[in-house]
Every structure is written in structure tokens, then in C-alpha cells.
Amino acid sequence: MINIRPFRGLRPKEGLEDKMACKPYDVINHEEALELGGDNPYSFVHVTRPEIDLPPGTDPYSDQVYKKAKEALDDFIQKGYLIEEDKKVFYIYRQIMKGRAQNGIVGCTSIDDYGEGRIKRHEFTRFDKEEDRINHFYAADANTEPVFLFYKRNADLKKLIEDWTNKHEPVYDFSSEDGVRQMLWIVDGDETIEKIQHLFLDLDSLYIADGHHRTASSYKVGLKKREENPGYTGEEEFNFFMSVIFPEDELYIMPYNRMVKDLNGNTEVEFLDKVGEKFHIQAMDTIEEPEKKYQITMILGDRVYRLTPKEGLVDEDDKIACLDVSILQDNLLAPILGIEDPRTDTRIEFVGGEDMLDTIKERLKTDIKVAFLLYPTQIGDVRAVSDIGEVMPPKSTWFEPKLLSGLFVHRFK
């Protein structure tokens, strides 16, 4: 039983949506944030990355920055850039990229569903990143960005979304800078709101696609506010966090590739000999991305190879070990290149997204010695790992398109 509820969202005044919407805080660096917000006073990056409006060199994790986020959000409201719904509503958020559409229901999910394991994770979180979002959400007194969740395919929810979007006009319809069409519908019909809630009550689980730190942080902010309000009823807004929830069959996962700066003291010949102990190696004339599971493309200098695991190397009954990212990590990155913990080893970098191949080619000309192209993790793999309470290796999934920030905000009061 999944508890989802509507909320009185804050959203851009009509006509400002394309100016306000921006990429999530964790996929842009400081320079990109400065560029986005520099000549655009409407950009929501002033809320999600408020250090851009403070003196250069300001610690992005200082109390001053979190206070500035609250000031920026309040300023957007006061100036009328953000408007609040008259009643509690759901939204339907559609993104169309290269002809593929994904349709998510925007609502608030329960911190108890997360705490009790009904909203399932597939990644570990880092304390420092959790703490940052805890401080940000707590200071802003709001979820400024949503969590990206998914559910098993559901015909009733699919029909509900189709019916509503066919019968109503979107409040926003624009294309973001990356060419993705962004559409938003307000779901304000009482009967439809109630039906959405009932349909989610029939679901056993939701799964985190993207936003593990935002989820964990929202949970901890909710617990903190419960401590501050011992007479809480469970209905207060801080008991819920803003999510966009998609059907699994509409999601698109891109590969999350690996680049390594050295061969761990091996010559290229020694390295290839060691790789050949675990993998079949086939020379290739051009760079080709893997076409199926258990294929890895390796780019070593100006040479390209196709790697496939040797017989008996993969235990297909082990949900973790049979992942392509695990096969690479357990049989090559760790034992040959000495990368035991890819989360902390500075010799490895990860690259995903639409321009990843161009990025890899450029880096191979400078500081990267070897790169690995992987077949994308499948959504069924994410669900299978989540269902057994395990986590995937770091950087296993890259969901595209990313959810934009600034199209909806959930306040705790």
C-alpha cells in the first residue's frame, strides 16, 4: 500500500516556466550554475545553487548558503515568479525526448513508506551529500526538487493519465535547452485525485530511479520535524516528500561508462594479457557501443576491443554479480587496475548522457588511458536488485531525460 497525496504546489507564473526551469542541482557544476543564473533572475538555480549569489569562494555547504536558498525561494514567491495552487492537486509531467515520452504523476509520497521499505533504493548514499540536502530542505522549509520514482507497469494508471491529458490542456508546454519537450498538466478534479490515491494504495512498492540522497534527506528532515512537533498527527506536510512517479516501461536508461587514467603500472601488453585471462578479446576497427548484455567495448589508446566474459565467469543467478557493471568491476577494474572502491578512487571517472562518446574521445587524447563502454542496465535489473534489498555498484544507471527543477515546489507548511 503506497500512500500518495496531492499538495498545494508552488509553480512558475505562466510565461516564466521556460525561464525558471533548470537542470537538477547535482548535474551542474559551479561554473554552469553561474552561467545559468548570471543573466536570468528567474532561473531556479538561484534557489538550488544559491552560492552563485554570494561572494566568490563562499563555502557551498555553509549556513550562509542554506539561508540564501530560503531567501531566494521567498523572493520568488514575493515577486510573483512562483504562484501557489488554490487547492491540493496532482500534476502530470510529460517529457518527450527523440520521440520517446515518459509520463509521471507528481505528488507527495510518505516518509514512512520509505522508512519501512516500500519505497526501495538501489544505491548507497553518502553522508556528506545527505547532510547537504538535509540542511537545504530544512532551511528552505520545502522540497525544492523532486525525487524520480517508478512503479511496475499498471494499465489503470496508464489509462487515467491518457484520459486526463487527452481531455485537458497542459498549463506548460515548452522545449528545454537540450531539446526535450516539457509538458505539465494540473490534475484538480476531486474524483480523479481520489482515484489516483486508490490506485497507488493497490501498489506494493515504488522504486527510486534517481534521487537517493534527496529521498534519504527528506526522510530525515521529516523525522527531525516530528521531534520538534511531538503532537504531530502524520498528516503534516513534512511527513511527505515531493516525487515524480513514472511507469517502468516508459523509462530510458543510458549506459554509464568508465574512464581510467592509468593501467596501474602495467604496460599495454601486460594489461591485455591479464584481461585475456577473464575475457575473450576481439579487436575492432571502429568504436561500437555494446549491442547486448555481457558485451563491453574497451578503448585502449587508439585501439578498440570487444570484451565478453569467458565461460563460467558470470553467475546469472546472482542479481548483483551478473550486472555488466559488476562484471567489469569485479574482474577487471579491481583485480587488474586496482580500483577497489570506484566511489573514492580518483583514477576513475564516469560519463553518461547524450554526449558521452564525444567526451570519451576527447579525454582519450589527454589524460585518460583506457575507457569502457557498457550495455545499459535494464529497468528489470534495477527492480530485481531493489526487491532483494541489495544495492548496485556505484554509477550503475543514468536515466535520461533528467527531471527539471523549478516546475513545482512542495512546502512543508
What value does the mean pLDDT take over residues 213-229?
Answer: 97
Task: Look at residue 235 in the predicted model and tell me its pLDDT.
Answer: 96
pLDDT-derived band at 344 (thresholds 50, 70, 90) equals: confident
pLDDT-derived band at 355 (thresholds 50, 70, 90) equals: confident
Q: Please report whether residue 175 resides in a domain.
A: yes
pLDDT digits (tens, 9 = 90+) for 106-119: 999 999 999 999 99
pLDDT digits (tens, 9 = 90+) for 133-183: 999 999 999 999 999 999 999 999 999 999 999 999 999 999 999 999 999
Task: Look at residue 31 in the predicted model and tell me its pLDDT.
Answer: 92
Q: Which helix (DSSP H) or strand (DSSP E) does residue 26 occupy?
A: none
Q: Which three cell numbers stand for residue 326?
A: 559488476
Q: How far apart are CA 17 and CA 318, in angstroms?
A: 45
Give yes or no: residues 260 and 236 share one domain. no
Give yes or no: residues 307 and 172 share one domain. no
Q: Which three cell numbers stand for residue 161?
A: 493519465
Q: Please report whether residue 272 resides in a domain.
A: yes
Q: Which three cell numbers stand for residue 395?
A: 554509477
Residue 346: count other Cβ atoms within 10 Å of its Cβ: 7
Q: Which helix (DSSP H) or strand (DSSP E) does residue 111 occupy?
A: helix 111-115
Q: How far apart are CA 339 and CA 70, in angstroms?
A: 40
Give yes or no: residues 265 and 339 share one domain. yes
Q: Please report whether residue 75 resides in a domain.
A: yes
Asked if the model's pLDDT at residue 354 lies above 80, the reply is no
Which residues have CB under 8 Å from 203's CB, separation 6+?
Answer: 1, 2, 151, 152, 154
Q: Please report whether residue 391 resides in a domain.
A: no
Q: Give CA separation, 104 vs 3, 95, 183, in Å.
A: 16, 9, 11
Asked if the model's pLDDT at residue 401 lies above 80, the reply is yes
**Beta pairing class for 119-120 and 206-210:** parallel
Work out the angle between the directed axes of helices 127-140 and 63-78 (0-180°, nearest 10).
40
Alpha helices in 244-399 (DSSP H): 268-275, 324-328, 356-364, 379-387
Give yes or no: residues 273 and 209 share one domain. no
Q: Please report whether residue 389 resides in a domain.
A: no
**Structural domain count, the chain:** 2
What value does the mean pLDDT take over residues 209-215?
Answer: 95
pLDDT digits (tens, 9 = 90+) for 380-398: 999 999 999 999 988 899 9
Q: What is the CATH number of the domain that holds 336?
A: 3.30.1760
Q: Which three cell numbers stand for residue 288?
A: 561500437
Task: Look at residue 394 in the predicted model and tell me its pLDDT.
Answer: 84
Task: Look at residue 413 in the predicted model and tell me its pLDDT.
Answer: 87
Task: Look at residue 356 in the predicted model and tell me its pLDDT.
Answer: 85
Domain hosting residue 184, numbered range: 4-252+401-411
Q: Please report whether residue 104 resides in a domain.
A: yes
Q: How far apart are CA 238 and CA 303, in angstroms?
A: 54
The percent of residues above 90 in pLDDT, for the chain, comes to 91
Give yes or no: residues 248 and 261 share one domain. no
Asked if the model's pLDDT at residue 90 lies above 90, the reply is yes
Task: Look at residue 126 in the predicted model and tell me its pLDDT.
Answer: 85
- Maximum alpha-carbon separation in the chain: 68
Q: The whole model's pTM is what?
A: 0.92
Q: Please report whether residue 385 resides in a domain.
A: no
Task: Look at residue 106 in the predicted model and tell me its pLDDT.
Answer: 99
Give yes or no: residues 235 and 326 share one domain. no
Give yes or no: residues 30 and 110 share one domain. yes
